[in-house]
Amino acid sequence: MITNIQPIYSRIKQYEFNVDDNSIFEQRILNLEKAINESVKEISEQFKNEVHIGFSGGVDSALILSKIVQYGFPVIAHTMGNTKNHPDIVHAQKYVHYLQNGGANITHTLHITSFNQKDIESSNSVLKTDSTRPDNYFMIMKELKSHAPQIICCDVIDELMGGYYAHQNPQNLPIFNPNKSHEENRLSALQFLLEKLIPNHLSVLDKFSDYFEIPVFLPYASQAIFDNCNFGVNELVDETQRKKPIYQLAEKNEVISPILKRKKLGLVDALSY
């Protein structure tokens, strides 16, 4: 299951977004990075040998991977896609090569995924649904079953930091109000998508983590990170950029430009592209 799941659920349900903050922006960036550092170090120390991370080749998982490497932990990065040309695999390979050239002790494991009728039936049985394809979290956990005794996943930060395109342009969300300002609608989008995090993502991941008996660690869900996400709406997202503090930290920690500039897909899009 997702480790420490009940406190994580409580943090999400109780969290309220900040409208304004008078403290210095750069100090809050430093506080956020310190919280990420502490979370990554604490979780990495719970792995017996190599640290296993689900690495989508996106900015969130790249930032966490950079922190694991900075602490000197040997790491195995797992990337999934339906072909070797999938954007997640292409971008992940570029960053892993960059880290390896810098001396990082990192192994990259690619998972070229496909599913069959049994996968559909098993996924539907766990979720009590009648889908025509298995859930992506099912496929991810299935692929990891024989490779990773436990895994780091990088969920949660999109919801906390305004990482979805819908945060920039919430017109298609049911909470959108044309009579409100961009800032007000984006604040509503932040709250709306955070409320969807548990039913649409974490509860599903938790079920398949339990089904395949692979403990999942969520470094972005620590109490310290929740305590240090106190950025104003416009400091998180505007017309040109999403989750701005994370991109600033990623650039500071030398996440390469192709990842910073790529289209967002995310780990669970590995079968959908």
**Ramachandran area for residue 240 (φ above 0: left; ψ -120 to 50: alpha; else beta):** alpha
Q: Residue 216's beta-bridge partner residues? A: 2, 151
Answer positive or negative: Cα dihedral of 201, 203, 208, 213.
positive
190 close to 157: Cβ distance less than 8 angstroms: no
pLDDT of residue 50: 96
90-116 pLDDT, tens digit per residue, is 999 999 999 999 999 999 999 998 899
Count the Cβ atoms, other than its own, within 10 Å of residue 12: 18
pLDDT of res. 243: 96
Query: How is the chain split into domains, by residue range?
Result: 5-263
CATH fold group of domain 5-263 = Rossmann fold (3.40.50)
Distances (CA, A) of 17 to 52, 161, 234: 31, 10, 12
Question: Which two three-digit tokens encode residue 248?
Answer: 């600033």
Q: Radius of gyration of the chain from Cα atoms?
A: 18
Please say whether the beta carbons of 212 and 145 come within 8 A.
yes
Residues β-bridged to residue 152 = 53, 217
Task: Give the model's pLDDT for residue 131.
Answer: 93
Quick: pLDDT tens for 112-154: 988 999 999 999 999 999 999 899 899 999 999 999 999 999 9
Residue 143 in contact with residue 40, Cβ under 8 Å? no
| Rounded distance between C-alpha atoms, residue 243 and residue 156, angstroms | 12
Residue from 52, 37, 25 nearest 220 by CA: 37
Q: How far is CA 57 from the centre of its chain?
A: 11
Q: How would you write the pLDDT of the chain (273 residues) with one tens digit per residue? A: 789 889 999 999 999 887 665 668 889 999 999 999 999 999 999 999 999 999 999 999 999 999 999 999 999 999 999 899 999 999 999 999 999 999 999 999 999 988 999 999 999 999 999 999 899 899 999 999 999 999 999 999 999 999 999 999 999 999 999 999 999 999 999 999 999 999 999 999 999 999 999 999 999 999 999 999 889 999 999 999 999 999 999 999 999 999 999 988 755 555 665
Name the nearest CA neighbour of 54 among 148, 151, 138.
151
3-state SS class at 87: helix
Record the pTM: 0.95
CA–CA separation, 219 and 235 (whole Å) = 22
The encoded tokens of residue 54 equal 């689900």
